[in-house]
Amino acid sequence: MKKTTVLILIMLSCWPALFSNNIKVSDVSLSAGIITFSLSWDNSWNDAVNHDAAWVFVKYRYPLPEWQHVILNTAGHVLPAGCLAVVPADGMGVFLYRSAGVGGNAFQNLQLSWNLAVNGIGNTDSIQVKVFAIEMVYVPEGSFYAGDGVSTGSLRQVATNTPVLISDQPVVIKCGNTSYDDAQLEGNGILVDGDGGIDMLGTTSINNPDYPTGFKAFYCMKYEISQGQWADFLNSLTAAQCVTRYHVTTANRYTISGNWPYLMASAPDRACNFLNWPDGCAYADWAGLRPMTELEYEKACRGPQAVVAGEYTWGSTAIYNVAYTLINNGGQNELAANQGVGTGNAAYDVTNGSLDGPLRCGIFAAGALNKTRLESGATYWGIMEMSGNLWERTVSLGSTTGRYYSGLHGNGALNSAGNADVSIWPGLVTGAVTGADGSGFRGGGWDVTSAYLRLSARIYASDVYTVRSNNHGFRICRSAP
């Protein structure tokens, strides 16, 4: 038998450790279909409310030069004490999380069982593997309110200008007029059944039962895609695919440079700007994840709590209004030296000052102990920077195209041009996501006024925009197994 060989790419100088706010994969090996590695990250928890997790997926290369997606077995994995795992039925990856408590994780000798037969290879092949990890947050199933009654374009009940409860019971919702929403959402409204999808026709029958309304449980990225994550993604593509996805600039704190497949970010933990809708969909497809809807965005921010009119994603109308001064600018420990105490922290036009670009992922979670949700800028569930820093891209409820979205997950592979090719994803043109029809924006960015940062503001919720902009980022999710 020919001995299995493994190239541990994350240990080479051209492939730095994979992390977003200090998540790291190390000590990777492969033997007889068992992928062994160690995984660590900071600021982890599992409590009575929810837990965070790492979405771990693997790419392999053999015999083709292209990196391909490993399909894991749904059972047969070996975990260290204190570590739990959930593997979805499609085997695209695994959610790993702590069994209880709070603090940093340091899981050693994790063993994932690879379904080699599904990938069409045998145990004796020479295989190169690479393990990726993305920090996620679990958003449990349950009811939540959408809209706040005052923000521009806010979702609301049909007969009143009040928030609407999304539950397992059908309810018709509409919105305040915006220039981008279609007439149906602004006029008669859309029927939403939390665990049964939506009715695109405004009648009593639901004709898209798979639309992700936010009621069912899902995992959401804890942070926006970082520049380090984006460089790792680009390096794993083919040369032709990378040309499609690589934006070349040195403006607005964007630091990715070099030549494929050795691109690197000099500020890898900084949120990645200049991402358009096709970019984010390509990353989601490649990682086995999916775009989130704007209803899921509101659930991920507000949780089950009552609405506060005009609130930001940390559940209050209080927001800091002094320009930040950075310590360790561009480093893994980049920190705002003068961040607000007892008020909400976020990067927007006032606080960004002369910085002229996005900040580090999770920047406000660091620093003083026992920070409040306001001070860290966290959502109810512990998701970071959902107000400000970079605009969030979501599937729009105010678009007919967006309402066809079924929430299918990516299959780990892009087409030859580097585009996502998942059925019924918004922006799908001739079989690939090359447009942005059905998408929109939520949450505001580093260069806009605070009104855009409001949790329920929908000013551009159905704005079809494909240009790469200096204040556009991306965050993706996956339906819970």
CATH number at residue 412: 3.90.1580
Q: What angle do CA 249, 451, 228 make, to 5 degrees?
A: 30
Residues 279 and 310 in one domain: yes
Mean pLDDT of 125-134: 92
Residue with the bigger pLDDT between 53 and 187: it is 53
Average confidence (pLDDT) over 402-420: 97
Does the pLDDT value for residue 269 go beyond 70?
yes
Say how far apart CA 318 and CA 340 lie, in whole Å.
Answer: 10
Q: How many CB atoms lie under 10 A from the CB of residue 81?
A: 6
Q: Is the pLDDT of residue 433 over 80?
A: yes
* Cα distance between residue 199 and residue 173, in whole Å: 11
What is the DSSP code (8-state) at residue 453? G
Q: Is residue 190 part of a domain?
A: yes
Report, as an integer, the average pLDDT of 379-392: 98
278 and 409 part of one domain: yes
Per-residue pLDDT, averaged over 255-276, amounts to 98
Domain assignment present for 176: yes
pLDDT tens for 10-67 read: 222 222 233 346 899 999 999 989 999 999 999 899 999 999 999 999 999 987 789 9
What Rg value do the Cα atoms of the chain yield, rounded?
A: 21
User: Are 372 and 425 contained in the same domain?
Assistant: yes
Place of tokens 């086995």: 288
**Final residue before a domain boundary, out of 95, 121, 139:** 139
Q: Are residues 117 and 157 in the same domain?
A: no
Share of the chain above pLDDT 90, in %: 86
Is 179 found in the same domain as 130?
no
Q: Please state the rounded mean pLDDT for residues 83-88.
A: 98
Residue 326 DSSP code: E
| pLDDT band for position 207 (cuts 50, 70, 90) | confident
**Residue 65 has what pLDDT?**
87
Give CA 432 to chain center in angstroms.
20
Residue 8: partners with Cβ closer than 8 Å, 6 or more residues away: 28, 29
Confidence band for 126, pLDDT divided at 50, 70 and 90: confident
Q: Which domain holds residue 290?
A: 210-481
Mean of pLDDT values over 138-155: 97
**Which of the listed residues 108, 124, 139 is the one where a domain comes to its end?**
139
- pLDDT of 20 reads 42
Same domain, 89 and 151: no
Residue 3 has what pLDDT?
30
Question: Mean of the pLDDT values across residues 230-243?
Answer: 98
204 within some domain? no
Our count of domains for the chain comes to: 3
**Pair 327, 224 in one domain:** yes
472 bridge partner residues:
391
* Average predicted confidence (pLDDT) for the chain: 92
Alpha carbon distance 192, 165 (integer Å): 10
Q: For residues 373-397, give the mean pLDDT.
A: 97
Q: How many C-beta neighbours within 10 Å does residue 65 have?
A: 9
Say which amino acid occupies 46: N
In this prediction, residue 204 carries a pLDDT of: 55
- Confidence category of residue 5, pLDDT binned at 50, 70, 90: very low
Question: Measured between alpha carbons, how far is 31 from 218 in angstroms, rounded to an integer?
Answer: 33
At position 457, the amino acid (one-letter code) is A
The whole-angstrom separation of Cα 145 and Cα 148 is 8
Q: How far apart are the first and last CA of the chain?
A: 38
Whole-angstrom distance, CA of residue 199 vs CA of residue 205:
6
Q: pLDDT digits over 280-308, tens only?
A: 999 999 999 999 999 999 999 999 999 99
pLDDT at 159: 80
Helix or strand (DSSP H, E) at 280? helix 277-287
Q: Do both 85 and 134 map to the same domain?
A: yes
Dist. CA 421–CA 366, nearest whole Å: 38
Phi, psi of 114 (to 5 degrees): -95, 130
pTM for the full predicted model: 0.95
Q: What is the DSSP letter of 210?
A: T
